[in-house]
Amino acid sequence: MSAPIALTSGDPSGVGLEIALSAWGALREKLPFFLIADVDYMRELAATSGQMVVQIATPDETTTAAKTGLPVLHCPFGERPKIGVEHPANATSTIASIDRAVAFAQSGAASAVCTLPINKKVLYDGAGFAYPGHTEYLAHLGGVDRSFMMLLAPELRVVPVTIHIALSAVQSALTPELLGATISATHHALQRDFGIKQPRLAIAGLNPHAGEGGAMGHDEIDMIRPTVDQLRSAGLDIAGPLPADTMFHPAAREKYDTAICMYHDQALIPLKTLNFSEGVNTTLGLPFIRTSPDHGTAFDIAGKGIADASSLIAALKCAGDMAQNRARYDAE
């Protein structure tokens, strides 16, 4: 990986910036990344824990700077953050950090983008943010109409077809077009970004026991199975629709590389049960690589010195691996 990873500031009042310092302490020269944030504030924050910050002017200074401290590319905050308190005045700088990280990734100056958690209400109140969240805004910056969420840990990868909608809305939101696009995007990402030449996909049913032949619902018969059969006939290695309650034990997980689930909790409950601390969120379908720790701003524990950086460290490592795999795939 020739270029470093760009790490956004997230909400500076949450745990993001303190775990960024912890991640530098853990990774240092092993995996080059730089933070886009207010360098003066980061120096104050680093001093409280005996760590160092080095200001950089361009991403290509990252590797040298990382030997001494966390490389920070200056992006001034609107006001000095108070830990655990919402600061709408910092909304614009949070968005600017995302914009700059994406611009670096698109130009090749960064190999990937890793995003620290944001507070959506702060962005709505402070900047009139017009997007439901990170993923939709990144899709806008990337110029794509649709992107897909993958959550992963060493034990499991999952992709939910529908995401942040009410359970009562899932059935109507599931369409052959959406399911087919999700399966195809996942298959391609596993090849390009994860180095799996022949991905194996497992598709969960929507209903208990995958509908049990129509006794518990017809979604599998009417929509899911025909879509899966069509893609299987095109050469994809797909199993399903399968009963979701038997997909996630160890022997079942050995048979597939990624599970595609019909709704949010069907995907995230098994992942977070298996490995809560090292979960990574990555967005498929973007023209650049994006990962994120799989947790929020955690205002309640910010500044207490107890925030766990494991998920961020995993997200940075995942971004580095994806960048290497994508470069290799594109070269071939």
Lowest mean pLDDT among 75-89, 169-183, 265-279, 316-330: 75-89
Place of tokens 């080095």: 54
Taken in order of first residue, the domains within the chain and their CATH numbers are 1-148+285-332 (3.40.718.10), 155-274 (3.40.718.10)
134 is in an annotated binding site: yes
Mean pLDDT of 292-314: 89
> Are β-strands 112-114 and 5-8 bridged in parallel, bridged antiparallel, or unpaired?
parallel
Q: Confidence class of residue 290 from pLDDT cuts 50, 70 and 90?
A: very high
Tell me if 227 is assigned to a ligand binding site. no
Q: Write out the two tokens for 162.
A: 């529908």
- How large is the average pLDDT for residues 89-111? 95
Question: What is the value of pTM for the model shown?
Answer: 0.93
Residue 238, pLDDT above cutoff 70:
yes
Q: List the structure tokens of 4.
A: 């470093």
What's the pLDDT score for residue 305? 87
Q: What is the 3-state secondary structure (H, E, C) of 161-194?
A: CCCCCCHHHHHHHCCHHHHHHHHHHHHHHHHHCC
Residue of higher predicted confidence among 159 and 78: 159
Backbone angles phi, psi at 210, to 5 degrees: 55, 40
Instruction: Give the separation between CA 259 and CA 85, rounded to whole angstroms.
Output: 38
Report the C-alpha gap between 186 and 172 in whole angstroms: 22
* Helix locations, the chain, DSSP H: 16-27, 39-47, 62-65, 91-107, 120-127, 134-142, 167-173, 176-192, 219, 225-233, 250-253, 264-274, 310-331
Residue 264 known to bind ligand: yes
Is 135 flagged in the annotation as binding?
yes
Greater pLDDT, 85 or 191: 191
Query: What average pLDDT does the segment 248-269 reach?
Result: 97
Q: 128 vs 315, which has greater pLDDT? A: 315
- Identify the pLDDT of residue 42: 96
Q: Is residue 62 annotated as involved in ligand binding?
A: no
Residue 197 labelled as part of a binding site: no
The whole-angstrom separation of Cα 208 and Cα 198 is 29
3-state class of 125 per DSSP?
helix
87 is in an annotated binding site: no
Q: What is the mean pLDDT of the chain?
A: 94
Is 74 part of any known ligand binding site? no
pLDDT for 296 equals 85
From CA 38, how far away is CA 25, in angstroms rounded? 19
SS3 280: strand
What is the pLDDT confidence band of residue 24, given thresholds at 50, 70 and 90? very high
User: What does the pLDDT average to over 83-106?
Assistant: 93
Distance (Å, whole) CA 2 – CA 323:
9
Q: Is the pLDDT at 58 greater than 60, yes or no?
A: yes
pLDDT tens string 277-288:
899 999 999 999
SS3 73: strand
